Amino acid sequence: MGHPLQRTPTVGKDRREDVEQFDAIIIGAGVTGLYALYRLRERGLAVRVFEEGGGVGGTWYWNRYPGARFDSESYTYGYSFSEARLQEWDWTEHYAGQPETERYLNYVADKFDLRRDIQCNARVAAAVYDARTPRWQIHLEDGRRARAQLVITAVGLLSAQSIPDFAGLDSFQGP
């Protein structure tokens, strides 16, 4: 059975315009983004991850407040796709704090050489689907662009603050 992905004609730069070409683009280099990168790369796809932060880890990169830690046992965050790597890492606490969790995600990124396909400090401004090609075009805030047939948004559900629009919220003064 053939691979269902239509291969990108050229992986690299489109010579006619300044747009990088990939098979897949992942937005976010947190727990899910790293996993998606590993799995897609394992299938031979050319992948780029765009990460807004200066490093990998997603929530565990951004949330550095005192006491930040897992709400479930640490081992549940371990990537089970590699038994060898899973056995190498030894969590120091049952409910690890942010520093250890971020160290673990950096360890995974290094062990599997994931960083070479991750572009940090790259905020995605828009993702536009072009049905004619059929490809997604990703626009970064700094003006760069990239295209891919697949886009995975691995931004996580904790990536943006959301305050509900309640009537009277702006004038509320109670506890």
Q: Long-range contacts made by residues 90-99, C-beta under 8 angstroms, separation at least 24? A: 93/69, 95/69, 95/70, 95/71, 96/69, 96/70, 97/67, 97/68, 97/69, 98/60, 98/63, 98/64, 98/65, 98/68, 98/69
Segment holding 162, helix H or strand E = none
Domain 12-67+105-159 indexed as CATH 3.30.70.260: no
Please give the Cα distance from 54 to 62 (Å, whole number). Answer: 9
- What is the total residue count of the chain? 175
Read off the pTM: 0.83
Structure tokens at 150: 């697949």
Each residue of 78-118: pLDDT tens digit? 898 888 888 899 999 999 999 999 999 999 999 999 999 99
- pLDDT digit string (tens) for 107-148? 999 999 999 999 999 999 999 999 999 999 999 999 999 999
- Residue boundaries of the structural domains of the chain: 12-67+105-159
